[in-house]
Chains A and B, each alone.
Chain A
């Protein structure tokens, strides 16, 4: 029986959401060809919290070792390479997270496994898989096939696959011996640190007016800030604005920044990379202003305006001021 292995992802004692998203998808796939889902947990002192995975896996394979306490691609790769070589799963799923990005390409090369990264769709077909990926900044979807036989390695995009409510599988926890040996690793984990943020706490705002690359330059920020203030909103932004140092990191909405859930989210000149959308899709009402009618942001917006923000924001600012005076 060819199982599907899912690498459970955890950090600082917490399961990452991608773990459950992958397990849910893996179960669907496994059912379609009469297979099983086996979760793989690598860590130290995680046996108790591993219970959380049992409903979603036929088995939970647990490798505990103090050298697996914090993620290090070196140790993870050694353990997974051995597991995959021994068990020959049809498919191994890893998250396309900062963990998976550090691990999957190397593991694939070591084991000569065909790899497809950052997939937003996966279906079984004739013993292989059909994958969906996004290219050109999310403006195009590509259907991808493997050129070679498995076992296959696929990384899945976080926040894309729903966690379906199902009956519990009550999978047994199977402890496995750690294959790690003493020896110096060429890469050593030292510590976690919080990125320096700066700026106001955007997670508390009811209205966020968020600017992206379309703002062109820091000289145009006051225009949007004044409008935000006129409607009692807070200024936030997408990644490129922080990369260019136009606003502090604390203003950034998205995967590597803040996740926000304001009542109103106005996206101004933001194309809507998935990392951004992951941080704001919980907003009550999303209004997007963008020049490009095919910008991915319109896929999550409730209201859309195709046009020049440098014409629309001044008009909005004027009308908003008028409102206040009345």
Chain B
């Protein structure tokens, strides 16, 4: 990154971030050696876990077979990957899960705005709403697998509420299953959004809102024209964070709720890699899929960095 051409826009943005940054924080005048020693352990850890892995996963993607029995196949794995309906379907499932992002963002933002005052119990409510976020997906997934079973608890509830037309086989219907998993994700991430946006709203200067109120602005206008724009940066971070989560941290739910089924319909890229690489021992194609996942993640990461840098730029 530091060896990039100074004229590229990205480098310019990084330079801008530099202007708010650090060398000004060092009290030492002369060149020091100890910082290198202090950074070394982290460098070793990152080099091993990330650096080594990046290189090897790319290398393995050109081979086929199991550990210890690899044969070179060139780019065949990639061709096979994109011709594999299970992979493309997994990829599209990750993209389908992106639909949860506006839902979680919108719903949690709405609630944060609604409870953005002090009233009795607001802290307790926030605590309750945040609880799902810290609970292990494995255990909650187990609970949901019974709640969402065909003719299970949710269906029973809908029936008793005379909403039988809404009854589905939530986890057994290939067209619904990924959205059911999305629903569980929304359940867990919602509280996180509420807390994040609540904290952000608290840091909006009270005078701005007061001034608007004095000018006669309605509640709705205050929310839309004042508060939301003020916390826009936080909203952007949150959206990208959710997108990254949906891309790379949903394995547990798929594994526990559906095992990728029925017939691969709820498989996501993480699950494809796990199933091919570990349940079948086919390291080659799993590595190729991992490389593709990394490529997609890089796009999201680049976007994330761009948003961060743009935010810093606007601050300066």
A, B from the same assembly? no
**A residues bordering B, Cβ < 8 Å?**
none
**B residues bordering A, Cβ < 8 Å?**
none
